[in-house]
Amino acid sequence: MIHSLFLINNAGDLFLEKHWKSVISRSVCDYFFEAREKAVEPDNVPPVIRTPHHYLINIYREKIFFVSVIQTEVPPLFVIEFLHRVAETFQDYFGECSETTIKDNVVIVYELLEEMLDNGFPLATESNILKELIRPPTILRTMVNTITGSSNVGETLPTGQLSTIPWRRAGVKYTNNEAYFDVVEEIDAILDKSGTTVFAEIQGVIDACVKLSGMPDLTLSFMNPRLLDDVSFHPCVRYKRWESERVISFIPPDGNFQLMSYHISAQNLVAIPVYVKQNISFFETGSSGRLDITVGPKQTMGKTVECLVVTVHMPKVVLSANLNATQGTYNYDPVTKILVWDIGKLNSQKLPNLKGSLSLQSGAPKPEENPSLNIDLKIQQLAISGLKVNRLDMYGEKYKPFKGVKYVTKAGKFQVRT
């Protein structure tokens, strides 16, 4: 299926290649470079590129292009999903997935790629299994290795291939048994000029960090599972239990993983935590404009809105901005034409306001459209959909684990049109 993989950085240097079948010359990447050239922005590179003999499927992550070469028919999503999994594995192993870390750990990278694919077909992609086969590098281990002179090799024979549960390694042991769940919700919304919601939805994930000994069997239940009608699960979750009882029953992988993600699109359920009053106008004459933005709390459920940032992509003719912010700081980058107003905590008594004038390129026609505002925010201890975890039960093990749940709401693609 997947024939070869090339890693290419943003500058167009090919810095790593791996072949799972016979070797394909790296000149095949010329087609990719051509497309890359044409696309200008790295985001605009088409994910599937056709060449006379191969197909190149690429993803762009962390400023690296993962370009895979395909020779036979294969579902494209299959390849894309796998490439993302590779990137995530690198991230998991090295902390970040960047050119530097990959080059620093090139041997581990090769070991990983070798294990993840056999003859071009995914073999072991679960992080738990991989970590059993290949130990991730840590600072501590490097130190220990240096002192003891041992190398970065697993202590035991890999048993993962033979463990009965594909995603969990056997023989896990912790002194403190803990299970943490983060309910993270992102609001995607488009508000129009008058502040009415054009489109809103909530994208939620439950990230888990489970450090429990043995083979625990967990059941997570919600106060209001009816909220969730569109969910996707980690493979460890039993679909049947969810269908019948609306509880999440699973034997967790060891360590960090994403338990589930969900999607709430019913508009009436989506509370919009802030409102924005804005007035951006450009004058016909005098090559100047006016900007006035006020942000206020709307439906915050009694919680404070933090990390509030307003970003405006100004039209090209805006040269500079002379503004006055009642709270926080603003910064206008004349090169990228991006105005960033970092507000911080939203104070409902005294609403933050940004006001002032914009100076435009003289002689240029007044910009046709007003820029839209992108809003970023964070609310701690609140899941905006109202989702609440009821309880977590553990079966199969004797000890009593420590359990914790955290809720966070963030803004996803939150746009205000002007």
Q: In the complex, what is the shortest distance from the CB of residue 402 to another protein, in angstroms, rounded to a whole number?
A: 27
Among 4, 6, 8, 16, binds another protein (CB under 8 A): 16
**Strand ranges of the sheet holding 217-222, from the earlier edge strand across to the other edge:** 247-250, 217-222, 389-395
* Continuous segment of H or E residues that includes residue 258: strand 255-264
Q: In the complex, what is the shortest distance from the CB of residue 190 to another protein, in angstroms, rounded to a whole number?
A: 6
* Continuous segment of H or E residues that includes residue 239: helix 239-245
Q: In the complex, what is the shortest distance from the CB of residue 197 to another protein, in angstroms, rounded to a whole number?
A: 10
Nearer to another protein, 289 or 401 (CB): 289
Nearer to another protein, 59 or 293 (CB): 59
Among 207, 217, 263, 294, binds another protein (CB under 8 A): 263
* Continuous segment of H or E residues that includes residue 114: helix 106-116
Helix, strand or coil, per DSSP, at residue 30: helix
229 touches another protein (CB under 8 A): yes
- CB crowding 68-86: b at 16 or more within 10 Å, else e: bbbbeebeeeebbebbeeb
How far apart CA 186 and CA 189 sit, in angstroms, is: 10
Helix, strand or coil, per DSSP, at residue 269: helix
Among 9, 225, 313, 340, binds another protein (CB under 8 A): 313
Write down how long the chain is.
418
Pairing of strands 2-9, 64-70: antiparallel
* Among the listed residues 253, 99, 89, the one whose alpha carbon sits nearest the alpha carbon of residue 169: 253
Q: In the complex, what is the shortest distance from the CB of residue 161 to another protein, in angstroms, rounded to a whole number?
A: 6
203 touches another protein (CB under 8 A): yes
Binders of another protein among residues 267 to 296 (CB under 8 A) are none
Contact region for another protein (CB under 8 A) — 292-300, 333-341, 350-358, 367-375? Answer: 367-375
Contacts with another protein by CB under 8 A: the residue count is: 98
Place of tokens 């939805």: 201
Q: In the complex, what is the shortest distance from the CB of residue 282 to another protein, in angstroms, rounded to a whole number?
A: 12
Among 25, 27, 100, 268, binds another protein (CB under 8 A): 100
Q: In the complex, what is the shortest distance from the CB of residue 391 to another protein, in angstroms, rounded to a whole number?
A: 22
Pairing of strands 247-250, 2-9: unpaired
Place of tokens 């993302």: 84
How far apart CA 112 and CA 228 sit, in angstroms, is: 36
Q: In the complex, what is the shortest distance from the CB of residue 55 to another protein, in angstroms, rounded to a whole number?
A: 6
Sign of CA dihedral 378, 379, 380, 386: negative
CB-CB contact of 306 with 378 (8 Å): yes
Residue window 105-124: x/- pattern of binding to another protein, with contact defined by CB under 8 A: xxx--xx--x---xx-xx--
How far apart CA 346 and CA 33 sit, in angstroms, is: 46
344 touches another protein (CB under 8 A): no
Among 235, 286, 334, 396, binds another protein (CB under 8 A): 235
Range list of H helices, 322-418: none
Q: In the complex, what is the shortest distance from the CB of residue 42 to another protein, in angstroms, rounded to a whole number?
A: 9
140 touches another protein (CB under 8 A): no
Helix, strand or coil, per DSSP, at residue 393: strand
Q: In the complex, what is the shortest distance from the CB of residue 341 to another protein, in angstroms, rounded to a whole number?
A: 18
Binders of another protein among residues 143 to 172 (CB under 8 A) are 143, 145-155, 157-158, 161-166
94 touches another protein (CB under 8 A): no
* Continuous segment of H or E residues that includes residue 143: helix 139-148
Cα 407 → chain centroid = 17
Among 287, 300, 327, 372, binds another protein (CB under 8 A): 372
How far apart CA 368 and CA 79 sit, in angstroms, is: 42
Binders of another protein among residues 28 to 87 (CB under 8 A) are 41, 43-44, 46-48, 50, 55, 57-61, 70-78, 80-82, 84
Nearer to another protein, 120 or 273 (CB): 120
Binders of another protein among residues 168 to 197 (CB under 8 A) are 188, 190
